[in-house]
Every structure is written in C-alpha cells, then in structure tokens.
C-alpha cells in the first residue's frame, strides 16, 4: 500500500508523524494507513507557500481560473472513482456521493461568478481621480475539513481561496484522508504551481501546528461547534488573522397547517435522515401540533421511517442511508437515545444496530414533549425528536430556544403561517415546504449563534477569501482650487 500522505512543495511524501488509519465504516476494514504531517512538515508547507504567495496572488485572475477550471474537468473525468472513494470512506451510498462530486464540479463555476459578484472590481472616475475598489488575497490560508462531506465542503473553501489568489494548506478530517489524497492528485494534474497547495493530513498535533503557525493568514474551518469554539478562542488573540467557522446546528422543523401530508412527510425524511442524519443542516427537532391531525402526521411519518432502506454504499438496489462514519459514532447516538429515554422520551421508532456492521443504525424517532429541559445538543445521526405543541407561537419560541441557528423549516400550506414563521425564526437558512437540507451553493450558507461566526460560506465564501482595498488614484498630485486655512505653500516661483 502506498502510504504517501503529504503533498508538499509539489511532491508526495510519507508523513513523519503518528500513524493513523482510515476505516471503511461498512465493513470495518482498514482502507488506508499512513502517517500524520509533523510540525516540521507544517513549517515546510508554510515556507514553500510564502515563497510563491506574492507571485500567485498577483497573477492575472484568468490564469488562476484556468487551473481551477482544469481541476473541474479532471473531477468530471474521475467522477466515478472519486464517488466510490467517498462512498467507501464515509459509507454514504453511491447515488449520494455522485451528487457530492457533482457539487464539487459546480463549485468552480459558482465561485468564479461569486468572485466577480462579491469581490470584483469597481471604479469611478471624478475628473483626474479614479476611485477604485479592488480585492487582494490574504496570503496563506488553511482549510480544515469535516468527515461528512470530505470532498464538497473543503472544496467549498479551497476553490474560492485559490481563485482569489491565496495559497492553501489543507488538513482533511483524520477520518477521511483518502478522499483528500485522491482530490489533491487532481489538483497536481491540473497544474497547481509548487507551493501554492499543500495537503497535510493528521490529527490534533497537525491541526494545532497549522492553526497556531505564525505564517498563517487565515483559517477556514468546517466542523463541530466544539472544535470551532476552541479555534475561536485561539484566534481571539490574533485579530489580524481571518477565521471563518462553519459549524453545527440543532435545527428545528415545524409542521403547520397541511392537507397534503405525504409530500410533507417526504420533506421530513429528507431533512432528518439524508446522509444518515450526518448533515449540519439536518432537522433534529420536529414540532407537530397536538390533536388528531398531528397524530395522523406522526402515524404516516412512523410508517415511512420504518420503510427507509439502510445498506451498504454499493448495494443494488441502492439504500437511502448508509452507516454512520464509525462504530463509535453509532454507539454515541445509541447512548444519546438512551439518555433521552431516561429523561422521559417516548420511543416512536427505535434506532437499531443492523447485522451488516457496527456502524449501521436504522433511523429513530423519539417523542420528547414530556422532557422539560431538553438538552440543546446536536445529535449528528439519524435521530429525530418530536415535540408536540398547542400554539404556533409557542412552537416558534421553542424552535428558537437553541444556542445554534443554522437551518429551520416550516411545512405548511398557509401563507400567513409562513410569513409569521419567517419573521420570527432565527437561523441562516429558513425554508418553506422544502427540506432543511440540500442548500444551494448559489446562496450564502451559514448560521447564527454557535453555528458560525458571521462568515457565511458558498456564495459569500469569496468575502472571506480576500480583503477589500479602496484606492484614490491620480497620475500626479494637484493643488486644490483653494488651500485650507493655515497652510502656506512656498517658496513662490
Ligand atoms: N456548517 C457547516 O457548513 C458544516 C458542514 C459540515 C459539518 N458541520 C459540522 O461538523 C461536525 C461533524 O464533523 P467533524 O466531526 O469532522 O468535526 P470536528 O470538529 O471533529 O473536526 C473538523 C476538523 O477539525 C479538526 N480538529 C479537531 N479538533 C481540533 C482542534 N482542537 N483544533 C484544531 N482542529 C481540530 C479535525 O481534525 C477536522 O479536520 C458536525 O457538528 C456538523 O454539524 C458543519
Ligand atoms: O453538512 C453540512 C452541509 C450540508 C449541505 N450544505 C451545502 O452543501 C451548502 C452549499 C455549498 O456549500 O455549496 C446541505 O445543506 O445539505
């Protein structure tokens, strides 16, 4: 097995740090074993990036764009193999990982448009003076990725960062190094210049030495609110460095006035169980009205949940859901379910381990209405909590009772309910009769509270990849028609 894990100064090499492995969650087999990047590797990455940062950042945009577009072409050529690697490393079914590679390809076009729309050039002439707004790259930025979208989400930072003229140091999730290695091979083939891009896989030691490196200009992080909080505290000491945090959520979905129940139930399934509930935008709390209509909604939902197919990434026919990322993650979810039951939750559909392997869980549904102090936790898996409500305003108040604020949804055929919901709900993604998942890359993507730090990604990623420069420019200095009081220029000639 080739265990080259580091891409540094345009070359591949094995890491010199601690050994770590990537595990196929479907089978428990080891997919890849390699060594983490050491603090010395991190130093070399920053040194080689610094050496080229000026030249890369001042190259014409079209030249950087050509390399990034070549990368998109290579992604399209290798779509099947990359989709298989994502599927093997995360357990997500192949139909879904193909959409992930599709999103990576589309990100290039979207990011080129966003670069011009959000950070382009604007110039105004007033006589001999040109007032210009332009943007410059930060320099050398790091990207830390999560495991749930090991291709698409780091790519959502890397592509706009490179287009804007930054050099990038990428540390993927330690659970998905193989996807990163396969992706970076395509960057190499696309002709990314030596030093512009480094891949430094590893665990905590690698992450810390990148995040605390004196030559770092910015960090774009996607992951848990816990880790994001640690980084936020570290960066509080370094106001000159930009930090973009894309973090978790405890997302609410509210069921309002509905006649056509089946499509709404479908939206709940897509919201709560897509990617086995391992999306930051997944609905975690479902607010359902008390009374017979709400009871009927739950009956139809329970029936649909029981029919969801869970299976291996390459099963034929394809399952809707694969395993969780690991047996440990599955056990944590089962423990969380038990804790909620101990607090008074009623089990409507239990999560259950499947005989395929330790990481496989069936989707679960709990009624937690009776729990007075529901823990405000993101349960990152296929566990949805139902809360029955009497009053729509009270449902919105409870929906807002979270330290997070990523996504929220209303399922209702009543326009007035939607208007009221939209006006009062607090989240960065607010959807009506659409799942809470599946956000568009053509819109900003981010949340409030502990879901982010007001640096939305996707369309707005361009904003954190460059800083604005305002210039007033004239070919020579000129005297004003009248000098201000207290100034005398001389000697007269
Ligand atoms: N808002 C979003 O766009 C978004 C998207 C995907 C996932 N997420 C969130 O990510 C979480 C799941 O991903 P995860 O488990 O991979 O997240 P994580 O926080 O465990 O890890 C994310 C990255 O941070 C690194 N890291 C871990 N500890 C660190 C530390 N102390 N200092 C520096 N770096 C450290 C990891 O190695 C990894 O590369 C969920 O909470 C989910 O909601 C958010
Ligand atoms: O797990 C978190 C991401 C979920 C995903 N969001 C996006 O893809 C954002 C759009 C983009 O970055 O292009 C979703 O909403 O399902």
Tell me the CB-side half-sphere exposure of residue 242, using CA atoms within 13 A: 23
Which pLDDT tens digit goes with each residue over 277-327? 999 999 999 999 999 999 999 999 999 999 999 999 999 999 999 999 999
Element containing residue 468 per DSSP (H, E): strand 466-473
Which residues contact ligand 1 via a Cβ below 6 A? 144-149, 153, 171, 173-174, 204, 207-208, 211, 222-224, 227, 230-231, 246-248, 280, 378, 380
Taking a C-beta distance cutoff of 8 angstroms, is the pair 209, 39 a contact?
yes
Pick from 224, 232, 376 the residue to mutate for probing ligand 1's pocket: most ligand atoms within 8 Å of its CB: 224
Ligand 2 centroid to 438 CA: how many Å?
Answer: 6
Query: Which among 89, 96, 182, 246 is annotated as catalytic?
Result: 246
Which pLDDT tens digit goes with each residue over 210-220? 999 999 999 99
Element containing residue 233 per DSSP (H, E): helix 225-235
- Residue 259 to residue 404: CA distance in whole angstroms: 31
> What's the whole-model pTM score?
0.97
Q: Does the beta carbon of 144 sit less than 6 angstroms from any atom of ligand 2?
A: no
User: Which region holds residue 214: left if phi is over 0, alpha if psi is between -120 and 50, else beta?
Assistant: alpha
Residue 8 has pLDDT above 70, yes or no: yes
Residue 490 has pLDDT above 90, yes or no: no
Taking a C-beta distance cutoff of 8 angstroms, is the pair 131, 471 a contact?
yes
Mean pLDDT of the chain: 97
Q: Does the beta carbon of 281 sit less than 6 angstroms from any atom of ligand 2?
A: yes
Residue 181 has pLDDT above 60, yes or no: yes
pLDDT the model gives residue 3: 74
Alpha-carbon distances, residue 50 vs 9, 189, 205 (angstroms):
11, 22, 22
Which pLDDT tens digit goes with each residue over 364-392? 999 999 999 999 999 999 999 999 999 99
Tell me the CB-side half-sphere exposure of residue 349, using CA atoms within 13 A: 21
Alpha-carbon distances, residue 399 vs 204, 261, 444 (angstroms):
34, 21, 22
Sign of CA dihedral 187, 191, 192, 195: positive
Residue 1 has pLDDT above 70, yes or no: no
Residue 492 has pLDDT above 70, yes or no: no
Give yes or no: 246 in active site.
yes
Residue 28 has pLDDT above 60, yes or no: yes
Closest ligand 2 atom to residue 103 Cα is 13
- Residue 312 to residue 353: CA distance in whole angstroms: 14
pLDDT the model gives residue 491: 75
Ligand nearest to the CA of 248: 1
pLDDT the model gives residue 99: 98
**Which residue's C-alpha comes closest to atom 10 of ligand 2?**
441
Helices 177-190 and 152-164 sit at what angle, rounded to 10 degrees?
Answer: 30
Taking a C-beta distance cutoff of 8 angstroms, is the pair 264, 433 a contact?
yes
Alpha-carbon distances, residue 207 vs 4, 42, 170, 226, 453 (angstroms):
18, 9, 10, 14, 20
Tokens 């330790």 map to which residue?
358
**Which residue's C-alpha comes closest to atom 8 of ligand 2?**
439
Which pLDDT tens digit goes with each residue over 325-361? 999 999 999 999 999 999 999 999 999 999 999 999 9
Which pLDDT tens digit goes with each residue over 49-93? 999 999 999 999 999 999 999 999 999 999 999 999 999 999 999
Residue 493 has pLDDT above 80, yes or no: no
What percentage of the chain reaches a pLDDT higher than 90?
Answer: 98
Dihedral (C-alpha) 383, 386, 387, 392: value to the nearest 10 degrees?
120
Peptide bond into 317 cis (omega under 30): yes
Q: Does the beta carbon of 149 sit less than 6 angstroms from any atom of ligand 2?
A: yes
Residue 168 has pLDDT above 80, yes or no: yes
The helix/strand/coil state of 194 is coil
Peptide bond into 491 cis (omega under 30): yes
Q: Does the beta carbon of 90 sit less than 6 angstroms from any atom of ligand 2?
A: no
Sign of CA dihedral 56, 58, 62, 65: positive
Degrees to nearest 5, angle at CA 398 with 279 and 400: 60
What percentage of the chain reaches a pLDDT higher than 70?
Answer: 99
Q: Are strands 346-349 and 364-367 parallel, antiparallel or unpaired?
A: antiparallel
The helix/strand/coil state of 288 is strand
Give yes or no: 450 in active site.
no
- Residue 48 to residue 8: CA distance in whole angstroms: 8
pLDDT the model gives residue 417: 98
Residue 253 has pLDDT above 90, yes or no: yes
Residue 4 has pLDDT above 90, yes or no: no
């Amino acid at each position: 097995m080739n265990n080259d894990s580091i891409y540094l100064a345009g070359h591949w090499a094995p890491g010199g740090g601690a050994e770590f492995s990537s595990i196929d969650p479907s089978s428990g087999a080891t997919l890849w074993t390699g060594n983490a990047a050491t603090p010395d590797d991190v130093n070399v990455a920053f040194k080689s990036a610094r050496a080229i940062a000026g030249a890369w950042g001042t190259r014409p945009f079209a030249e950087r764009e050509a390399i990034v577009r070549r990368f998109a072409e290579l992604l399209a050529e290798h779509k099947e193999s990359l989709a298989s690697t994502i599927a093997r490393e995360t357990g997500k079914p192949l139909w879904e990982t193909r959409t992930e590679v599709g999103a990576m390809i589309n990100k290039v076009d979207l990011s080129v448009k966003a670069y011009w729309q959000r950070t382009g050039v604007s110039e105004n002439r007033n006589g001999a003076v040109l007032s210009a707004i332009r943007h410059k790259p930060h320099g050398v930025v790091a990207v830390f990725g999560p495991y749930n979208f090991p291709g698409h989400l780091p790519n959502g930072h890397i592509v706009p960062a490179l287009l804007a003229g930054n050099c990038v140091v990428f540390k993927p999730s330690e659970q998905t190094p193989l996807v990163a290695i396969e992706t970076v091979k395509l960057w190499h083939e696309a002709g990314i210049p030596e030093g512009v891009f480094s891949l430094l896989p590893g665990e905590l030691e690698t992450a810390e030495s990148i995040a605390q490196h004196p030559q770092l200009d910015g960090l774009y992080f996607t992951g848990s609110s816990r880790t994001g909080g640690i980084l936020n505290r570290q960066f509080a000491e370094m106001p000159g460095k930009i930090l973009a945090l894309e973090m978790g959520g405890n997302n609410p979905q509210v069921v309002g006035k509905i006649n056509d129940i089946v499509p709404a139930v479908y939206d709940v399934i897509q919201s709560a169980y897509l990617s086995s509930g391992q999306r930051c935008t997944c609905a975690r709390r479902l607010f359902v009205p008390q009374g017979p209509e709400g009871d009927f909604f739950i009956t139809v939902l329970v029936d649909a949940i029981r029919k969801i197919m869970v299976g291996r990434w390459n099963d034929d026919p394809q399952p809707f859901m694969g395993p969780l990322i690991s047996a440990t993650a599955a056990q944590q979810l089962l423990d969380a379910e038990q804790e909620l039951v101990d607090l008074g939750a009623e089990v409507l559909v239990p999560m259950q381990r499947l005989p395929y392997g330790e990481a496989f869980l069936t989707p679960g549904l709990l009624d937690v209405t009776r729990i007075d102090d529901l823990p405000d936790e993101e349960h990152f898996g296929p566990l949805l909590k139902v809360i029955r409500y009497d009053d729509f305003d009270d449902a919105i108040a409870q929906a807002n009772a979270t330290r997070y604020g990523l996504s929220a949804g209303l399922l209702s055929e009543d326009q007035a309910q939607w208007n009221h919901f939209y006006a009062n709900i607090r989240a960065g993604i607010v959807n009506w009769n659409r799942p809470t998942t599946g956000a568009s890359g053509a819109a900003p993507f981010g949340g409030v509270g502990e879901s982010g730090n007001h640096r939305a990604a996707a369309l707005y990623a361009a904003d954190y990849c460059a800083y604005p420069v305002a210039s007033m420019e004239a070919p020579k200095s000129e005297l004003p028609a009248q000098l201000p009081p207290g100034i005398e220029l001389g000697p007269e000639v």
